[in-house]
Amino acid sequence: MSAGRDHRSIRGSAALSTAPAFAEPELATAEALAPGEMRRIGFHGEWLGAVRVRARYAPLPLEAFDRVADVLEADEQGTYFQLLRLSYAEGRNFCRTPQKELQRRLKLSERRLHRVLDALVTRGFVRPLHRDNRGTLWRVYLPREAFGEPLGDDVLLGRPASAGSSPIDDPEPGRSGREPRGGEPGGSSVVVLSADRRVRHAVPMSDLARQLAEARGTPGQLAAAEEEIAELLADGASPRQIEACIAVARTPSRQGAAP
């Protein structure tokens, strides 16, 4: 069969002609909208504009999509994204799922799914840790982890289950040296660094405790909030991560957000 007979145009695409850039003012306005700018522009019978998801949503770093494009095939990307959905979208770096569920989500045969999962394991994006009658437990790695890079402050990691003990060494390269801070537990302030690691400002521990308590709707529980901040510092959390914790506490529940 010739290549010409194999060709199939994209439905609706043939009617489009290539126009000069910025030739249509409505489209230029829509494409210039800032992220989160709650406006919409009419264009060819459609509304183009900002979107804010207020129901359940997945907080995933954009690099989880962008950086895998160069190293994973289409089926591998689809499988990785589904494992991200089952792990990080639920607030965990692991998930347990039966093989039949992955086959249902991906429309892959058992043989093809095995090949895809093996490729993800080989490239360091997932690792099987356990199996029982509920399915396989997968540790799912973000691209920085798969490439041997530190996660940085953009991703918050859970603390060890018991204070002062950890069953494994710190898996992140470069995480052993803590950022300089003005006060360890019991100190008076925390030095907050900017993204380029310059000193941005110093925040008194009492202020952070007040912010955390207010964010959680418990302004009277300052002592408990300050104790939690001290524990985060003792566990090696950076000041930027503590600020991120407070920001998360202010965010409405994904399942119960008000309209």
Q: Which residue has the higher pLDDT, 92 or 21?
A: 92
pLDDT band at 21 (very low <50, low <70, confident <90, very high): low
Which has more pLDDT, 99 or 227?
99
Task: Say yes or no to pLDDT of 143 above 90.
Answer: yes
| pLDDT tier at 160, thresholds 50, 70, 90 | low
* Residue 127 contacts residue 121 (beta carbons within 8 Å): yes
166-178 confidence digits (pLDDT tens)? 455 444 443 333 3
Please say if the pLDDT value at position 2 is more than 60. no
Q: What was the pLDDT predicted at 48?
A: 80
Q: Which segment of 15-19, 73-77, 166-170, 201-205 scores lowest on mean pLDDT?
A: 166-170
Q: What is the pTM of this model?
A: 0.58
Decide if pLDDT at 8 tops 60.
yes
Burial of 59 (0-12, 13-18, 19+ CB in 10 A): exposed
Residue 87 has what pLDDT?
92
Give how far Cα 37 sits from Cα of 27, 46, 77, 86, Å.
15, 18, 30, 30
Q: Does residue 222 contact residue 209 with C-beta atoms inside 8 Å?
A: yes
Q: In the block, which residue shows the tokens 């100190």?
A: 187
pLDDT at 23 over 80: no
pLDDT value at 184 more than 60 = no
Instruction: Give the C-alpha separation, 146 to 125, whole Å.
Output: 5
Continuous segment of H or E residues that includes residue 244: helix 239-250
> Which of 257 and 151 is assigned the larger pLDDT?
151
Q: Kindly indicate the confidence band of residue 13, based on its pLDDT and cuts at 50, 70 and 90.
A: confident
Residues 12-26 have a mean pLDDT of 72
Q: How far is CA 20 from the centre of its chain?
A: 37
What pLDDT is recorded for position 183? Answer: 37
User: Would you call 104 exposed, middle or buried from its count of C-beta atoms within 10 A (0-12, 13-18, 19+)?
Assistant: exposed
Give the per-residue pLDDT at 200: 47
Residue ranges and CATH numbers for the domains of the chain are: 25-54 (no CATH), 63-146 (1.10.10.10), 189-250 (no CATH)
pLDDT number for residue 224 = 81
Q: Which of the pair, 125 or 248, is modelled with greater confidence? A: 125
Asked whether the predicted pLDDT for residue 100 surpasses 60, the reply is yes
As a whole number, mean pLDDT of residues 23-36 equals: 77
* CA gap 230, 111 in Å, rounded: 50
| pLDDT surpassing 80 at residue 14 | no
Per-residue pLDDT tens over the stretch 191-238: 454 444 444 445 666 777 888 888 878 888 888 888 777 777 666 666
